[in-house]
């Protein structure tokens, strides 16, 4: 280990993570320099990678359902919204939360592990005012359900991702819905998430973009926010940019939003926004006319040596004695393949990953033989009509918090 990294690691150990736990992984990530990415990916072109076996050297030591919890890095925005008396300010804060949710995706080159059917992940730290549970509720199609709640708000939804390879790029199609309830005001917000494109996975510097439109609707008062994620051009001038408008129930533009989903989000009055559009390079001085809604947390200086992880991601897979005693046996932190990769043992990680996938296939065969419809019954979520939205959703039953793990399957 060179002296510069020594210094960076020491600084990381001295810092305190706002999410609890460690600020480093056990060992730095391995080098992929000796692996031929093209030899692997050419067989996946046009196919859904969530249904393919991807070698462990192209993975990061987190499960996909753990990655879902990274959406909560800026949960303080929900706290602020739930304590805000102005309905339009609440709407803007919810929009900032939506934009912030994927900021952690930037500079992450590893693919998360596909969750096993029945796999769960609990995220609850003493210093955080919420707790979250995720469960892999379906295998084909793969569906991950999540539920996060505090005294002030309730955030839940599901995701049915597809990942397609197009040679030098990957397309991630989340097929995701999200619902947020602000308890003090009895308000319900809904939105769907965007597709993402990961470019230059073979040649050049890898970069990620999201583009398209997200509409956030307050179902209680008719306010909405339309967010436009801009597609990059040849000069990458529009890369990561997002803009949009807060609309009243009649569709009239009330305020404008602008920024980058990787960095920050600002809002301003419509005339100010129109003037900013004429400014070819928006600078800090021009943004002084705007209100800052959200700004990203800087990553630790050594992040590039640890899969590009944020401080939240660094803490995600830690398993201390207290957690070991209280978590269900299906929790992602007990997965031996992820644990082996985190410890830098690629050979063991690959063997364990193959074993777990074979075990899951055998379990599905037994299930199909024992039940006429071959259906899997999730333990902690139930597919039912959501009274808030009127649509069919995977809803958390709250039984998880009883702490009875006797019905948990042996998936590891």
- Please provide residue 70's backbone torsions phi and psi, each rounded to the nearest 5 degrees: -70, -15
138 and 76 belong to one structural domain:
yes
224 and 264 belong to one structural domain:
yes
Whole-angstrom distance, CA of residue 122 vs CA of residue 71: 14
Whole-angstrom distance, CA of residue 310 vs CA of residue 313: 5
Whole-angstrom distance, CA of residue 133 vs CA of residue 127: 17
225 and 103 belong to one structural domain:
yes
Whole-angstrom distance, CA of residue 187 vs CA of residue 86: 13
The listed range with the strongest mean pLDDT (63-77, 273-287, 380-394) is: 63-77
- Residue 301: which residues within 8 A CB-CB, separation 6 or more? 8, 11, 12
The per-residue pLDDT for range 271-321, each reduced to its tens digit, is 999 888 776 555 545 677 899 999 999 999 999 999 999 999 999 999 999
298 and 189 belong to one structural domain:
yes
What's the pTM value of the predicted model, to 2 decimals? 0.88
- Residue 40: which residues within 8 A CB-CB, separation 6 or more? 54, 55, 58
- Percent of the chain scoring above 70 in pLDDT: 81
When mean pLDDT is compared across 68-72, 99-103, 162-166, 408-412, the lowest value belongs to: 162-166
**Residue scoring higher pLDDT (236 or 64):** 64
Query: Is 112 within 8 Å of 66 (Cβ atoms)?
Result: yes
283 and 367 belong to one structural domain:
no
The per-residue pLDDT for range 173-200, each reduced to its tens digit, is 667 789 999 999 999 999 988 877 676 6
- Percent of the chain scoring above 90 in pLDDT: 60
- Give a yes or no: residue 326 inside a domain: no
- Give a yes or no: residue 409 inside a domain: no
- Give a yes or no: residue 376 inside a domain: yes
- Range 130-137 average pLDDT: 97
Identify the band that residue 35 occupies on the pLDDT scale cut at 50, 70 and 90. low
354 and 217 belong to one structural domain:
no
209 and 352 belong to one structural domain:
no
Whole-angstrom distance, CA of residue 53 vs CA of residue 57: 12
294 and 352 belong to one structural domain:
no
User: Does the pLDDT of residue 13 top 50, yes or no?
Assistant: no
Which residue range is the domain that position 339 belongs to? 334-402
**Residue scoring higher pLDDT (238 or 304):** 304
Domain tally, the chain: 2
Point out which residues pair with 164 in neighbouring strands.
48, 171
pLDDT score at 8: 46
Whole-angstrom distance, CA of residue 74 vs CA of residue 9: 25
The per-residue pLDDT for range 323-335, each reduced to its tens digit, is 999 999 999 999 9
- Range 131-158 average pLDDT: 95
User: Does the pLDDT of residue 114 top 80, yes or no?
Assistant: yes
- Please provide residue 337's backbone torsions phi and psi, each rounded to the nearest 5 degrees: -75, -40
387 and 264 belong to one structural domain:
no
266 and 365 belong to one structural domain:
no
């Amino acid at each position: 280990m060179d002296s510069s990294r020594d210094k960076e690691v020491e600084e990381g150990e001295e810092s305190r993570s706002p999410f609890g736990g460690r600020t480093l992984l056990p060992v730095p990530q391995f080098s992929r320099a000796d692996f031929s990415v093209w030899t692997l990916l050419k067989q996946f072109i046009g196919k859904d990678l969530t249904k393919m076996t991807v070698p462990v050297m192209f993975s990061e030591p987190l499960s996909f359902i753990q990655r879902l919890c990274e959406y909560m890095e800026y949960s303080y925005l929900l706290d602020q919204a739930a304590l805000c008396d102005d309905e339009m300010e609440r709407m803007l804060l919810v929009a900032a939360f939506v934009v912030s949710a994927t900021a952690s995706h930037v500079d992450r080159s590893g693919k998360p592990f596909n969750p096993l059917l029945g796999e769960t992940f609990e995220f609850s730290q003493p210093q955080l005012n919420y707790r979250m549970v995720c469960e892999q509720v379906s295998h084909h199609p793969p569906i991950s359900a999540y539920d996060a709640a505090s005294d002030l708000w309730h955030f839940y939804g599901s995701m049915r991702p597809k990942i397609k390879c197009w040679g030098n790029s990957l397309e991630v199609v989340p097929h995701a819905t999200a619902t947020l309830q602000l308890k003090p005001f009895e308000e319900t917000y809904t939105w769907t998430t965007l597709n993402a494109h990961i470019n230059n996975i073979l040649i050049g510097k890898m970069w990620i973009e999201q583009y398209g439109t997200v509409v956030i609707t307050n179902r209680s008062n008719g306010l909405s926010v339309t967010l436009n994620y801009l597609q990059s051009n040849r000069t990458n001038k529009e890369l990561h940019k997002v803009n949009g408008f807060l609309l009243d129930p009649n569709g009239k533009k009330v305020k404008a939003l602008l920024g980058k989903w990787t960095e920050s989000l600002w809002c301003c009055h419509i005339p100010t926004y129109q003037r900013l559009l004429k400014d070819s390079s928006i600078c800090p001085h021009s943004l002084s006319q705007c209100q800052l809604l959200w700004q990203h947390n800087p990553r630790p200086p050594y992040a590039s040596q640890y899969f590009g992880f944020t401080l939240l991601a660094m803490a995600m897979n830690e398993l201390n004695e207290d957690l070991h005693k209280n978590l269900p046996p299906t929790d992602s932190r007990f997965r031996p393949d992820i644990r082996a990769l985190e410890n830098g043992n690629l050979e063991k990680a690959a063997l364990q990953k193959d074993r777990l996938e074979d075990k899951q296939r055998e379990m599905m065969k037994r299930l199909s033989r024992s039940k006429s419809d071959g259906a899997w019954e999730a333990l902690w979520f139930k597919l039912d009509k959501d009274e808030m939205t009127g649509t069919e959703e995977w809803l958390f039953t709250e039984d998880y918090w009883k702490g009875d793990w006797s019905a948990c399957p042996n998936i590891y």
